[in-house]
Amino acid sequence: MKALQITAPGEMTVVQLEKPEAGAGEVLVKINCVGFCGSDLNTYLGRNPMVKLPVIPGHEVAATVEAVGSGVPENIKPGLRVTLNPYSNCGNCPSCRNGRVNACQHNETLGVQRDGAIREYMVMPWQKIIPADGMTPNECALIEPMSVGFHAISRAEVTDIDTVMVIGCGMIGMGAIVRASLRGATVVAVDLDDEKLEIAKRVGAHHVINSAKEDLHARLAEITAGAGPDVVIEAVGSPFTQNAAINEVAFTGRVVFIGYAKAGTEFITKQFVQKEMDIRGSRNAMPSDFRAVIQFMQKNDFPTEELISAVATPETAHDEMKKWADAPAKVFRVLVNFD
């Protein structure tokens, strides 16, 4: 079977692997398509310290059940459209013991710490199979990044009396915008790209700010009557946006960081004390976040195709990755299609 492998920084090739078989408690899936995400781009560029090359990338998956092993629940059967929970969990670390398996101390994510899903077939434990019946492959490939945004809103404990600023309107930021809007919050979307901000309005943002063209602080003061947002979701991962989150959040507000900064970030910690703010990390997603995204996408008109910047075959995926590396701000998702 075909698989796509990143062999060295800037190098990607199609390789041939043996087709796997499902053992006891396992499910063999036929991969329909997989999305490239920011971690895959960083792996390709040689900037992902958690990856050991060579590696098969990919953890945003649309698949169809091909075969099941013994001991698999009856609702998981051949022909079922599914996505995959790409995170492992040990069951013994503090996170797992506290029920927060998404943040397992020993997590291995597909395409990062272990080989990923950009291959024709894959075997997974049945517990990592998430049914998505009735959804298209393109929709399924967006579930995982959307769920990361949904999880950040849960971490922030957003309610209908909150004003929530989401910095960064990529796929994860879009998920945060959708979830905050579903919870009844007033949502402010911030980005540098007007096209992304237009889509943000369509999926639930009540206000949008292009921080390259507008004064972020002044606009927030106008929207919040000078108080600042109750919640800030930082979905970019840069020292500038991380400091903006701290500076702009309201007194006693909550800041949730999703993005990883590639360099150290200096904070004026006086702000933390004076504002008595909560600063929280948000990692991956819980199974309930996946289910919430699926339910939302099944019931609502979501602009799936507008969020897919390109569809590649395994043979053309390298070209699309190079284009993304050259213009990262203009790409939502690139899908690699095996159908």
How far apart are the C-alpha atoms of 117 and 110, rounded to whole Å? 7
Residue 160's contacts (CB-CB under 8 Å, 6 or more residues apart) are 183, 184, 185
Nearest to 287 by CA among 162, 65, 101: 101
How far apart are the C-alpha atoms of 174 and 172, rounded to whole Å? 5
Diameter over CA atoms, the chain? 61
Confidence of residue 49 (pLDDT cuts 50, 70, 90): confident
Q: Tell me what the mean pLDDT of segment 86-99 comes to.
A: 98
Note the residue count of the chain.
Answer: 339
Beta bridge partners of 333: 308
Residue 107's contacts (CB-CB under 8 Å, 6 or more residues apart) are 87, 88, 89, 113, 284
How far apart are the C-alpha atoms of 113 and 37, rounded to whole Å? 15
pLDDT tens-digit readout, 53-84: 999 999 999 999 999 999 999 999 999 999 99
Q: What's the pLDDT score for residue 331?
A: 86
How far apart are the C-alpha atoms of 172 and 236, rounded to whole Å? 9
Q: What is the mean pLDDT of the chain?
A: 96
How far apart are the C-alpha atoms of 245 and 219, rounded to whole Å? 14
Q: Which two tokens stand for residue 40?
A: 């895959």
